[in-house]
A and B are shown apart, each in its own frame.
Chain A
Amino acid sequence: MPLLAYCITEARSELAIPAAGVGSMPVKAVIAGPLQCFVSHFESGSIEGKTTIRESALEFHRTVQELFRQVAVVPFRFPTILGDENEISAFLAEHSSEYENALLRLRDAVQMEIRIEEREVASPPAASGTEYLRQRLSSHKNIAETALRFQHASEEWVREWRQRETPSGLRCYALLTREHLESFLTSMKEIPVAPGQTARVTGPWPATEFLKVNK
Chain B
Amino acid sequence: MESANNVVIVGTDFADDVSLLDIIDHILNAGVVIRGSLVVSLAGVDLVYLGLDVILTSVETAIRYLQLQPLSSGSPLRKSIQRRSE
Contacts and interface: CB of A to CB of B under 8 A. Distances in A.
Interface of A: 2, 5, 7-8, 42, 44-45, 47-51, 53-54, 57-58, 60-62, 64-65, 74-83, 87, 91, 119-122, 185, 188-193, 197-206, 208-209
B84 to A, nearest CB: 10
B16 to A, nearest CB: 12
Given A75-B27, A120-B64, A201-B9, A50 B51 contact: yes
B31 A76 contact: yes
B51 to A, nearest CB: 4
B30 A209 contact: yes
Given A53-B51, A58-B23, A61-B23, A202 B39 contact: no
B48 A53 contact: yes
27 contacts: A44-B40, A44-B44, A48-B51, A49-B51, A50-B54, A50-B55, A54-B86, A60-B27, A61-B12, A61-B14, A62-B14, A74-B31, A74-B32, A76-B33, A79-B45, A81-B40, A82-B34, A91-B34, A189-B5, A193-B6, A198-B6, A200-B9, A201-B10, A202-B10, A202-B22, A205-B26, A205-B30
Top 4 nearest A-B pairs by Cβ distance? Answer: A75-B31, A83-B39, A208-B30, A78-B27
Contacts of A87: 37, 39
Contacts, number: 142
Contact of A199 (B6, B23, B27, B44): B6
A172 B3 CA distance: 19
A176 to B, nearest CB: 15
A155 B44 CA distance: 45
A51 B64 CA distance: 22
A77 B86 contact: no
Nearest to A65: B12
B80 interface: no
